[in-house]
Amino acid sequence: MELDKLRHRARKQGWRIQKCRTTNDRSPDYGKYYVFAVEAPAGQWRTREYVAGPLTLEELGALITNTPPQVTL
């Protein structure tokens, strides 16, 4: 699923998606996403409550659409 569609679905659930900002490609959360809920209506970073993360794009799609991730053997 495309990231823009996932962001839209997450907003409907009251969540926001943020990509990890690390530039070290050996970091375990490099290229992954975090899901968080914003408590204040202004959306200040101090009111963020992390829901899940770090997640790959497939795991993120499974979390937001409430479907189990596909397992390949």
> Is 70 part of a structural domain of the chain?
no
pLDDT exceeds 80 at position 2: yes
Compute the distance between CA of residue 69 and CA of residue 10 in angstroms, rounded to an integer: 17
Q: What is the pLDDT of residues 24-56, one digit of tens each?
A: 888 888 889 999 887 766 666 667 788 888 998
Q: What b/e sequence results for 11-33 when a residue is b if at least 16 CB atoms lie within 10 Å of its CB, and e otherwise?
A: eeeebbbeebeeeeeeeeeeebb
> Is 73 part of a structural domain of the chain?
no
List Cα–Cα distances, 17 to 14, 57, 71, in angstroms.
10, 11, 23
More confident: 72 or 22: 22
Compute the distance between CA of residue 32 and CA of residue 56 in angstroms, rounded to an integer: 5
User: For residue 72, what pLDDT is reported?
Assistant: 61
> Is 16 part of a structural domain of the chain?
yes
- Number of domains within the chain: 1
> Is 29 part of a structural domain of the chain?
yes
The band of 5, judged by pLDDT with boundaries at 50, 70 and 90, is: very high
Compute the distance between CA of residue 58 and CA of residue 62 in angstroms, rounded to an integer: 6
Host domain of residue 21:
3-65
> Is 71 part of a structural domain of the chain?
no
